[in-house]
Amino acid sequence: MRKRVKKIGILLAPVYAIIYEIGQLFGGECEVCLKKMRKPMPGFTIHHIKYKMGEKIHSDFSNRLDYYTYLLPIVIKSKNRFAFLCNACHHSLDGPRGLNRRKKENVLRLITMWKMGQRHKKT
Ligand SMILES: [Zn+2]
C-alpha cells in the first residue's frame, strides 16, 4: 500500500509542475475563490472556457501528464479560452453535480434565486 502511494506521487509530481506553470499565467490563483497555488501541489486545474474544433480532451489521453503536456502550449497561445481554478470551484462547474451538467435555464434560475436570498443576508 505504502509503495503504491509513493509511485502515484512520482507520477503526479510533473503534472503539478505543469499546472503550476500554467497557473503562473493566471496570477497563480483560482479565478473564482482566489485561492493561491504557491508551489506545485495538488488541488488546482485548468478549465476550458471554450473548446476549439479538433482539440483533444482529457479522455483522449491515458494519463494526466500527457494531457497537460499537450495543453501547456495551447494555454500559452490562447490564454483567454481557459481559466485557472481550484478543484473545488472546478467541480462546481464540471463535476457530477456541477453547473455544466444542469440545464442552462435552471442554472439561471438558481443564480436568480441565490441573488434574491442575498438581499436578506446581513453581512
Ligand atoms: Zn476556487
For ligand 1, the distance from its centroid to the CA atom of residue 29, given in whole angstroms, is: 8
Cell of 53: 474544433
Could you tell me the distance, in angstroms and rounded to a whole number, from the CA of residue 3 to the centre of ligand 1? 31
Interval 81-122: pLDDT, tens: 999 999 999 999 999 999 999 999 999 999 999 999 987 666
- Cα(54) to ligand 1 centroid in Å equals 29
**For the chain, domain boundaries:** 2-88
Question: If you measure from the C-alpha of residue 115 to the centroid of ligand 1, how many angstroms do you get, rounded to a whole number?
Answer: 20
Say how far apart CA 109 and CA 122 lie, in whole Å: 22
Distance of CA 60 from the midpoint of ligand 1 (Å)? 26
Task: List own/partner pairs for 93-102 with CB under 8 A and 24 or more apart.
Answer: 93/47, 94/47
The verdict on pTM exceeding 0.85 is no
| φ, ψ for residue 31, nearest 5 deg | -70, -20
Beta strands, E only, 1-123? 44-48, 82-86
